[in-house]
Structure 1
Amino acid sequence: MDTTFPRLLLQHAAERPDAPAMREKEFGIWQTLGWRALAQMVEQAACGLHAAGLRPGEHLAVVGANRPRLYACMLAAQALGAIPVPLYQDAVAAEFVYPLSNAEVRLCVVEDQEQVDKMLEVRGQYPALERIWYDDPRGLRHYRERGLASVADLLQQGAARAAQAPGFFAERVAAGRSGDVAAMFFTSGTTGNPKGVVHTHASLLDRARAGAAFDRLTAAEEVLAYLPPAWIGQNIFSYAQWLACGYVVNCPESAATVGIDLKEIGPTYYFAPPRVFEGLLTSVMIRMEDAGRFKRWLFQRCLALARRVGPARMDGRPVGALDRLRYALGDLLVYGPLRNTLGFSRVRVAYTAGEAIGPDLFAFYRAIGINLKQLYGSTETAVFVCLQPDHQVRADTVGIPIDGVEIRVADNGEILVRSAGLLQCYYKNPEATAEVLTADGWYHTSDAGFLDASGHLKIIDRVKDVGRLQGGANDGAMFAPKYVENKLKFFPYIKEAVAYGDGRATVCVMLNIDFEAVGNWAERRGLPYAGYTDLAGKPEVYELMRECVEQVNADLAQDAMLAGNQVSRFLVLHKELDADDNELTRTNKVRRGFIAEKYRVLVDALYGGKAEQYVETQVRFEDGRSGSVSATLRIVDARTFAPVRRAA
């Protein structure tokens, strides 16, 4: 179908003008915007941007959280044949210079004073940035910078232009074609500069509709848009599928109110990376540890039942009458109230992606009646490649190829994908495009995996990260660092893990504690601490980490292929890994190579048999200041286990 996002907007506005399109929470009250009102806002924004000089094929940067007027500006740019480029709002000013200059951006729309300040700072290195419009005027009353104005002013000027040329907007929308470029998303840049991934209306809508058909999504769905719009996962769920299906997108008041807003909205369709689900479970476990003895006993008994019975119920397998009765009682006393506390009481479909999720974490949510599933995709594939069908959900797979997708496994184990949802190209980077797209349309994912006997895809790790152990008892054994890291991160006390072992005889890891979870654990034991660095170095905390590591080792020993990946030594880092320090990407993926170089002295100490190592690290604070953190870190041996031999 030859359609575009602005055309779909006008279609919804014509067919159900007063139905809610978006809600935004402001000053504690949800404000509803209907489809007709949204279409009028988009028309005003389009006329205003055209008057400001935005032309077809030009890029408009959009920086901020999910806000109706920012969405309207993206739609307005698309209506004019221009290309919105959403950027991560938590990036520092220096990180904007490359994408803005690469995309030759002259005009941008931002959320608030924080983003305005960054853009004004960017102008020092990129003076071509001419116009900056802001949505939230707080703190900006006395700013008198060149080309700075509010979105409200833009809409007002656009309304006047629209009145003078009433047919302009409709003509521009009608001129758009599905093959036109719809958006550009910059990759997280785990190595080198980020790449601009170019997508057309056709590629994004093809995958949005395929995903919607797979899970039978309708206009009745409610979605909470709280993740960065620059992440294609959020964009596809709250923008592409929103316009394809016509459901309601709800924008939280702020990052601090997401938990409350989640309960108030009660979304029916939910998406979050594993880190969010880990954080929610950690908060639940912390609260239960502080509960009274009876509540803890009841929770543990009901949870044990849920883990035994719940997954079978979710998968449609038979459950005994007595277990059904017990589960119903547990649902009344524990599971139902817990789902409500989490904000998942109305969730019909919940997805996680971006990183592998721990099997126990995955099973927990399904056990208490939440239809949590995994999907597989990337920025370059417009997200939807594989999805898990209801009643065919397994923790160790990412589902089956959905409609319109072909999958092939290369000789080296790399997954190749072909579909109508693939990127058009990497912007201004034909060499990188040629590396990932073959002449016959196959995309190289860089992920290693295989299709199992039931047609489900299993992902092992990144192709470049899968290595081999060399020397010692496990010489030649496969090394899958991400697999080890994900198993460690299931524990609520471990926030991040970085594993090394390629070309080595053993596997060693660096850990980050979860400050909230471990802090609560320490307080209940009367263990004083003066901050993250002090807490992370406590002998008691090291023993807690050792228990977690050795439990993972015991699990790995059960798998003949991965038994050699058991962790022999570990340390707890003196600071949290941070995107501002370039240790994580903006999507919170570990930059393993960068960390190995930055903390080379620690890697050498792990493999050099040292019992401790002094380290001093430069850090960047939230206010932009720089400083340093130093500590002498302990290095601890962990017990490993003989591989379990399965009977023939």
Structure 2
Amino acid sequence: MRPERMATADIAPARAMPAGHAPGRNGPAVPAILAVNARDHGDRPALRERERGIWRVWSWRDYHRRVMEIAAGLDALGFGPGEALAVLGDNRAALYFGTVAAMTLGGFAAPVFPDVPPGELEHFTRTARPRFALAEDQEQTDKLLALRSATGLPEIIIYDDPRGITGYAEAGLVALDDVAARGRALLDADPALAGALAGRADGGDVAVLLHSSGTTGAPKGIPITHAQALAAVTAAAAAGCFREGDEHIAYLPMAWVGDFVFSIAGAMALRFVVNVPERQETVARDLREVAPTLYLAAPRAWDLMLTRVQVGMAESTPVKRWIYDRFIGLATRIERDRLAGRRPSAGRRLLRALGEPLVYAPVKDHLGLSRAGRAYTGGESIGEDTYLFFRALGIDLRQFYGQTESCALVVCQTGDDASPHTVGRPLPGVELRLSEAGEILIGAGSVFGGYLGGGDTVVETDPQGRRWLHTGDAGHLDARGELVVLGRMGDLRRTADGTRFIAGHVENRLKFSRFVRNAAVFGDGRPHLAALICIDEQAVGQWAQGQGIPWTSYAELSQHPEVVDLISSVVSEANAGLEPGQRVRRFADLHKDFDADDGEITRTRKLRRKLIETRYAALIDALYGTADAVEIEIAITYETGAEGTIRRRIRLKEVG
């Protein structure tokens, strides 16, 4: 690897995990840290879960005891070192306990996105071949039973919520409470058992099996060891991204690396209080009650919060709208000046202070972010307007960069580095290089060792023993030495005249608008760039209501002439920030959003570009013609799994 340039953090290296953690042969394992927390901070709250409107609290001692009960029960059932425990369901305390219990026995959890349909589940369990699975409820249990019918595994399915399952006659079904009760009896009968079980896990063991997003093919298994996950946490803590005792809300999918690093590895190492919402539908309400000090959300979630505020203000009184618009405008201008290195005037600072109790504090309280001292976003670019809005409110929103293969946390905005256009500098102990082709290479202790079952080689080890991850992302360093991520190297294309463009970069510019939920840009070998755009139904619907435009469905709304003109203005605004050869000339508002069940996006909402190009080939070809509309027939998958086709007339628009 021949580096073009190198950037390293100038922050002092982080010290190892706090004293008292059992080192293991290859460093501490997560369960050993839990044991120390239970011993030294046993009465402090570790996890809260809302059930039927009431927050149930587990102390560190309770957490450890429950994990050991489940671990002893699993051990009695035959779960052993190196085995996988498939985990299916939304964020639940029981699933976190089961996950850590599997690690305690030297095994690992293999969480799967809860909305994965039965037909896709086989792929996510193919490499690990788990004999054991932990399901949240009847829905997930039914998926696992279907999987067993097709593959013979898993042999034992453990369920948390018994509603609808108690009458099942299938073999190998067991309630989690029964597993824990059996483990509790074994622990009470043999005082030495807890110590024997606790000594199994080592820092070099696989702690969790996650999966790549699968944008270019089938998702690949990514085994993450305890040591790798804790290295990421240590680096983040050294940079001030994490602090001991943070309040965190666990609502992101357990199959996403961000949840594992924040809700399990980070929570253990720095004793976060992890708050589990009652349901996904109650996250906004529960977030307001918790008011976390540490908050992580994807850019789209920040966009949705901003849209919620804007919709609410649009429906308020004229006086409230006037006050809001005045003070938000003021704060945004101050934040622009601050990012540009300009100090706001004394008069502006005074007005900003006046706006805190009038506007900024109530909005933050309404969103549940009144205590969010550390707020982060990652996974893709965030829109400048969204970024500035939250920073203008006084929320220290920062971007980070990483992949599942590097435990997510390798580059982050720290100190005064905040910018909507960069993702910051490497964290302590992390090195960043750019290859001659412009690919981002990451060297860190958090880099994984390779995909489960082999596959593409994306990791190299240098003579010093450091693992280097070929991220597959294109980027460059700006004048301040901060990383700018352009998009996937595989997305680098050329138009017919040889102009280079990265589709993801242009798509992100389009998605900066609150009116655009998804976009797919094309132009490889074509005379110009064109785009398929999926509107944001909530934002566009609210705008249409204000314009007196009637609509009854997403498809009808997307094809309304005024809506097409609205999106045309959005495209024009995005084009203004792009080089001439990278601008979108024609677009179509799609009649539906890209859907994971249709295979058009991954479960992490990344485009499956090849499939989209095939499915919408006729529509894409029409964008390079002269017609202003086209009839297309599209294959769809219904919620029941049945397949069909629909015919739609799609408007095509030239951008002036």
Q: TM-score range by the shorter chain?
A: over 0.9
Q: Say if 2:595 is the partner of 1:578.
A: yes
Q: Say if 2:491 is the partner of 1:468.
A: no
Query: Matches of 2:292 and 2:616 in 1, distance apart?
Result: 42
Query: Matches of 1:419 and 1:491 in 2, distance apart?
Result: 35
State the shift of 1:454 in Å.
Answer: 2.0
State the shift of 1:61 in Å.
Answer: 0.6
Query: Matches of 1:506 and 1:67 in 2, distance apart?
Result: 48
Aligned partner of 2:12 in structure 1 is none
| Amino acid in structure 2 at the alignment position of 1:478 | R
Residues 267-278 of structure 1: pairs in structure 2 closer than 5 A: 267-278=292-303
- The gaps in structure 2 that reach 5 residues or longer are 1-22
Residues 133-152 of structure 1: pairs in structure 2 closer than 5 A: 133-152=158-177
| Amino acid in structure 1 at the alignment position of 2:475 | G
- Residue 575 of structure 2, aligned match among 522, 540, 553: 553
Q: Say if 2:625 is the partner of 1:608.
A: yes
Query: Matches of 2:323 and 2:190 in 1, distance apart?
Result: 67
- Residue 460 of structure 2, aligned match among 437, 454, 474: 437
Residues 19-98 of structure 1: pairs in structure 2 closer than 5 A: 19-98=44-123
Q: Call closer, same or farther: CA 1:307–1:610 in 2, change over 3 Å.
A: same
| Amino acid in structure 1 at the alignment position of 2:98 | C
| Amino acid in structure 1 at the alignment position of 2:460 | L
| Amino acid in structure 1 at the alignment position of 2:343 | P
User: Deviations 1:430-452 (Å, cap 9, x if unpaired)?
Assistant: x41x3443565321000011222
Query: Matches of 2:342 and 2:77 in 1, distance apart?
Result: 60
Query: Matches of 1:539 and 1:3 in 2, distance apart?
Result: 61
Query: Matches of 1:230 and 1:302 in 2, distance apart?
Result: 40
Query: Matches of 1:428 and 1:187 in 2, distance apart?
Result: 14
User: Deviations 1:426-477 (Å, cap 9, x if unpaired)?
Assistant: 1011x41x34435653210000112223221111111110222223xxxx32
The SS at the match of 1:564 is: helix
Q: Say if 2:514 is the partner of 1:492.
A: yes
Query: Matches of 1:350 and 1:166 in 2, distance apart?
Result: 43
Q: Are 2:334 and 2:344, in contact at CA under 8 Å, matched by a contact in 1? A: yes
Aligned partner of 2:582 in structure 1 is 565
State the shift of 1:522 in Å.
Answer: 1.9
Aligned partner of 2:326 in structure 1 is 301
Query: Matches of 2:357 and 2:335 in 1, distance apart?
Result: 14
Query: Matches of 2:339 and 2:43 in 1, distance apart?
Result: 36
Aligned partner of 1:410 in structure 2 is 435
Query: Matches of 1:345 and 1:28 in 2, distance apart?
Result: 21
Residues 176-255 of structure 1: pairs in structure 2 closer than 5 A: 176-215=201-240, 217-255=242-280
Aligned partner of 2:129 in structure 1 is 104
**Farther-moved stretch of structure 1 (216-225 vs 579-588):** 216-225
Query: Matches of 2:243 and 2:458 in 1, distance apart?
Result: 38
Q: Are 1:219 and 1:248, in contact at CA under 8 Å, matched by a contact in 2? A: no
The SS at the match of 1:123 is: helix
Q: Say if 2:445 is the partner of 1:428.
A: no
With normalisation by structure 2, the TM-score equals: 0.93
- The gaps in structure 1 that reach 5 residues or longer are 557-561, 640-648
State the shift of 1:411 in Å.
Answer: 0.8
Aligned partner of 1:643 in structure 2 is none
State the shift of 1:30 in Å.
Answer: 0.6
Q: Say if 2:615 is the partner of 1:592.
A: no
Aligned partner of 2:411 in structure 1 is 386
Q: Say if 2:557 is the partner of 1:535.
A: yes
Query: Matches of 1:286 and 1:117 in 2, distance apart?
Result: 39
Q: Are 1:22 and 1:32, in contact at CA under 8 Å, matched by a contact in 2? A: yes
Aligned partner of 1:559 in structure 2 is none
Q: Are 2:450 and 2:459, in contact at CA under 8 Å, matched by a contact in 1? A: no
User: Deviations 1:367-419 (Å, cap 9, x if unpaired)?
Assistant: 11110000010000111111111221111111101111111111110011111
Q: Say if 2:546 is the partner of 1:520.
A: no
Query: Matches of 2:50 and 2:341 in 1, distance apart?
Result: 38
Query: Matches of 2:628 and 2:145 in 1, distance apart?
Result: 48
Q: Are 1:575 and 1:629, in contact at CA under 8 Å, matched by a contact in 2? A: no
Q: Say if 2:477 is the partner of 1:451.
A: yes
The SS at the match of 1:102 is: coil
Q: Are 1:184 and 1:196, in contact at CA under 8 Å, matched by a contact in 2? A: yes
Aligned partner of 2:533 in structure 1 is 511
State the shift of 1:149 in Å.
Answer: 1.8
State the shift of 1:351 in Å.
Answer: 0.6
Aligned partner of 1:324 in structure 2 is 349
| Amino acid in structure 2 at the alignment position of 1:65 | D
| Amino acid in structure 2 at the alignment position of 1:514 | D
Query: Matches of 1:188 and 1:146 in 2, distance apart?
Result: 34
State the shift of 1:196 in Å.
Answer: 0.7
| Amino acid in structure 2 at the alignment position of 1:604 | D
The SS at the match of 2:295 is: strand
Q: Are 2:241 and 2:374, in contact at CA under 8 Å, matched by a contact in 1? A: no
Q: Are 1:74 and 1:84, in contact at CA under 8 Å, matched by a contact in 2? A: yes
Q: Are 1:315 and 1:393, in contact at CA under 8 Å, matched by a contact in 2? A: no
The SS at the match of 2:125 is: helix
Aligned partner of 2:8 in structure 1 is none
State the shift of 1:503 in Å.
Answer: 2.1
**Farther-moved stretch of structure 1 (570-579 vs 189-198):** 189-198
| Amino acid in structure 2 at the alignment position of 1:545 | I
Q: Call closer, same or farther: CA 1:595–1:53 in 2, change over 3 Å.
A: same
Q: Are 2:514 and 2:539, in contact at CA under 8 Å, matched by a contact in 1? A: yes
User: Deviations 1:176-229 (Å, cap 9, x if unpaired)?
Assistant: 321122111111211222111111111110111111221163332100000101
| Amino acid in structure 2 at the alignment position of 1:481 | A
| Amino acid in structure 2 at the alignment position of 1:574 | H
State the shift of 1:532 in Å.
Answer: 1.0
Query: Matches of 1:170 and 1:284 in 2, distance apart?
Result: 52
Aligned partner of 1:645 in structure 2 is none
State the shift of 1:314 in Å.
Answer: 8.1
Q: Call closer, same or farther: CA 1:181–1:379 in 2, change over 3 Å.
A: same
Aligned partner of 1:642 in structure 2 is none
| Amino acid in structure 2 at the alignment position of 1:468 | R
User: Deviations 1:471-526 (Å, cap 9, x if unpaired)?
Assistant: 3xxxx322121121112112221111111122222110001111112122222333
State the shift of 1:563 in Å.
Answer: 2.9
Q: Are 1:84 and 1:183, in contact at CA under 8 Å, matched by a contact in 2? A: yes
User: Deviations 1:209-261 (Å, cap 9, x if unpaired)?
Assistant: 11122116333210000010100011111111001101100000001100000
Query: Matches of 1:229 and 1:399 in 2, distance apart?
Result: 26
Q: Are 2:339 and 2:419, in contact at CA under 8 Å, matched by a contact in 1? A: no
With normalisation by structure 1, the TM-score equals: 0.94
User: Deviations 1:127-162 (Å, cap 9, x if unpaired)?
Assistant: 122111111122223222221121111111111222
Query: Matches of 2:194 and 2:98 in 1, distance apart?
Result: 13
Query: Matches of 1:514 and 1:13 in 2, distance apart?
Result: 46
